[in-house]
Structure 1
Amino acid sequence: MRLPQPRGPISTSVVEHLRRPSSASDAQLRAVSQDPSPGITADEDRLLALWVLQELSYHAFAGVDPDQEWDLAVVQARTQLEAELATELLDVVLPVVEELLPEARRDLTGTLFSLPGRVAASAPSISAWARSSMTAEQWREMLVLRSASQLKEADPHTFAVPRIPGRAKVALMEIQFDEYGSGDPSALHSELFGQAMAAVGLDRSYGGYADAWPAPVLLSNVTLGWFAGRRRWAPAVVGHLTMVEMTSSLPSKFYVAGARRLGLPEAAWRYFDEHVEADAAHEQVAVRDVCGPLVAEDPEALATLLVGAVAGLHVESLVAELVMGTWEQGRSCLRTPLRPWAAA
């Protein structure tokens, strides 16, 4: 994929170094790791820089040497930006986790099933809007926002597989096998999502809309990227995945209803239809067969698991607040509005 357009001095330093590494760009990038700054969770410049640095571990950028993934200045910059992210997110998340821990030690299953209603109860529902009021252009915007994660669906969570033990590992692989199409490349969930984008005239290439993603979408993605990139945060990846599965089935049903209301072709909503039943099953596996055995074998993993669960719900709430806030005002939620689309 192509490198995105920078949004400030930090992302400019990252992009310029990846495009044309030199002693000057190396020094400029190293300065990022020596200049911590507050407010990263709302700073598009720093969030975009971190997204680019993390993506070096997933997809290639056109014209960027693959060895840049482990360039010392690149690693130092990523480490610093992730440290800033951790500081700010944990300030929000840890008080919630501390409150949940006594209950979770007594009844982990009950605590996990209650989390969406407790942590994200006040967040607006994009899927409910899809069922009742979403326009075709808003549907397309929704797909653009979700493309940041769905076009690489399952990949970040798979980083946890070699880092968790025994029963939990096997159960996680059961979920991931489904996410990767159960052995059928055409049924990959990322492939189904790409088909949904193409069906409504969108570019289905990964990162094709990076310039349009607002700060909360970047924040959501780099948060999972931070967890996925570090062994010590593997239980947080599990907690994050559990909340994804737990908050997907019913919303997917709403998305299908919305797409049918809009008269969209089946390819535009098949991805969501697949998740109605799949994620209803996955949430049970995640809670009972991944989280339960993981914490039973390593009780110290509980707090980290809850951090991932609460953080995931928190950042997705920020996305929903931005999206619904702009749509209710009749505006685009993207940084760059899409070109009009004429349905066939």
Structure 2
Amino acid sequence: MTSTEEIRRASAALPAPRGPLSHAVIEGLTGAPGSAVFPAVDSDPLGEDVQLALQVCYELHYRGFTGVDPDWEWDPELLRARAGMERAFVSAIADQTVGGNDIDAELDALSVEPVPAVGISAHLRASGEWWQMRELFAVRSIYHLKEADPHAWVIPRLRGRAKAALVAVEFDEFGGGRADRAHSQLYADLLDAAGMSADYLHYLDHTPACALATVNIMSLFGLHRRWRGALVGHLTAAEITTGPSAARMVDALTRLEAAPPCALFYSEHIEADAVHEQVMRHDVVGGLLEAEPELAADVAFGVQATNFLEQRLSNHLLDAWQEGKSALRIAL
């Protein structure tokens, strides 16, 4: 076991609150389960306070927090409060997406990139600076240090061809049986090589709500059987779009003369996701809708939610960087 892997296994400390709701959740977790009540959502569901509160609630289902009683994971009052946050979160996304059930059209659109390419990876390849690359590393660490974990929750909720194919994709994500090749470990190696901390959730206080939302949506879809189709849509969208973006990131890191482990994380995704795209589209989505055609609208919602939240994050980062400012809540 490497020292980096040992670091990644540790639980994180509770973050600093960002408003009354997250303050109530974080303060409550310092006491005994059953000892706290929590306010209803009273601010932007996509804003800092709600997204941090959701992230903290969800983390109880992953590694938890240092000093927090594990029984908080299923505390009825906290689950009630989380359900209110989730309803507000889903409603806010639904207001910004078009809906529908034409899965082929949704996935075909993802497969066609604009020329010239736009977005975070295109900016970093063309003219990005090392401090901007490090900011991206920081915000993405909230997911990539547990990469593929949220999607594993959908496995027992699938059957037949869809289940077998998704397990094959997850097997690759977890390194094909090799801990040192798991994508989460490759990201920890990337952070080490970039001179950054590979501690789990180390950059949570730095990370803005728009980045937390891209991770929270995976946890929301994963923890609810009702949203199994949406989680499949989310993962399919990610697999289709990651390969081209990863190729641009390799070019950017080469231009910036980054240490080899930084580029390795992305080069691993170029080849893997090209295969995963086909498996997800034809076997996972195809198998799921063959067995449960009524989930087509949920799969489409998962794709659209992913696109919407990723675009918000891209806009936030690029707007700040174009003004020469940090995009983080706390600069590195």
TM-score scaled by structure 1?
0.89
| Deviation for aligned residue 1:20 | 2.0
**Residues 22/282 of structure 1: CA separation in 2 closer, same or farther (3 Å cut):** closer
**Deviation digits for residues 290-317 of structure 1, max 9, x if unmatched?**
1011101111011111111110111000
| Deviation for aligned residue 1:87 | 1.5
| Deviation for aligned residue 1:165 | 1.5
Aligned equivalents of 2:69, 2:289: Cα separation in 1:
40
Aligned equivalents of 2:105, 2:24: Cα separation in 1:
46
Letter in 2 for 1:97: G
Matched, 1:112 2:132: no
Letter in 1 for 2:275: A
* Conserved 8 A contact 1:123-1:321: no
Determine the structure 2 residue equivalent to 1:39. 44
* Conserved 8 A contact 1:123-1:320: no
| Deviation for aligned residue 1:121 | 10
Determine the structure 2 residue equivalent to 1:7. 18
Q: Residue 138 of structure 1 is aligned with which of 132, 140, 157?
A: 132
| Deviation for aligned residue 1:329 | 0.6
**Residues 73/143 of structure 1: CA separation in 2 closer, same or farther (3 Å cut):** same
Q: After the TM superposition, which residues 1-344 of structure 1 pair with which residues of structure 2 at under 5 Å, given as runs?
A: 1-21=12-32, 26-27=36-37, 29=38, 32=39, 35-37=40-42, 39-41=44-46, 43-93=47-97, 96-98=98-100, 101=101, 104=102, 108-109=103-104, 111-115=106-110, 124-338=118-332
**Residues 116/48 of structure 1: CA separation in 2 closer, same or farther (3 Å cut):** farther
Aligned equivalents of 1:297, 1:185: Cα separation in 2:
34
Letter in 2 for 1:45: D
**Deviation digits for residues 12-43 of structure 1, max 9, x if unmatched?**
111111012377x513x2xx2xx3435211x2
Aligned equivalents of 2:189, 2:106: Cα separation in 1:
36
Letter in 1 for 2:28: H
**Residues 8/36 of structure 1: CA separation in 2 closer, same or farther (3 Å cut):** closer
User: Which ranges in structure 2 are unaligned for 5 or more consecutive residues?
Assistant: 1-11
Aligned equivalents of 1:242, 1:266: Cα separation in 2:
28
| Deviation for aligned residue 1:319 | 0.3
Aligned equivalents of 1:272, 1:173: Cα separation in 2:
22
* Conserved 8 A contact 1:6-1:48: yes
* Conserved 8 A contact 1:160-1:237: yes
**Residues 251/22 of structure 1: CA separation in 2 closer, same or farther (3 Å cut):** closer
Q: Which structure has the highest helix share of the two? A: 1
Aligned equivalents of 1:16, 1:276: Cα separation in 2:
42
Over the matched positions of the two proteins, sequence identity in percent amounts to 37
Aligned equivalents of 2:110, 2:247: Cα separation in 1:
21
SS of 2:175's equivalent in the other structure is: coil
Letter in 1 for 2:99: V
SS of 1:26's equivalent in the other structure is: coil
SS of 2:67's equivalent in the other structure is: coil
**Residues 311/123 of structure 1: CA separation in 2 closer, same or farther (3 Å cut):** farther
Letter in 1 for 2:60: L
Letter in 2 for 1:21: A
**Residues 56/22 of structure 1: CA separation in 2 closer, same or farther (3 Å cut):** closer
Structure 1 stretches of 4+ moved >6 Å: 120-123
**Residues 122/77 of structure 1: CA separation in 2 closer, same or farther (3 Å cut):** farther
* Conserved 8 A contact 2:33-2:71: no
* Conserved 8 A contact 2:246-2:270: yes
**Deviation digits for residues 247-268 of structure 1, max 9, x if unmatched?**
1111111111111111111011
SS of 1:92's equivalent in the other structure is: coil
Aligned equivalents of 1:264, 1:145: Cα separation in 2:
18
TM-score scaled by structure 2?
0.93
Number of residues of Structure 1 aligned to a counterpart in Structure 2: 321
Aligned equivalents of 2:144, 2:117: Cα separation in 1:
21
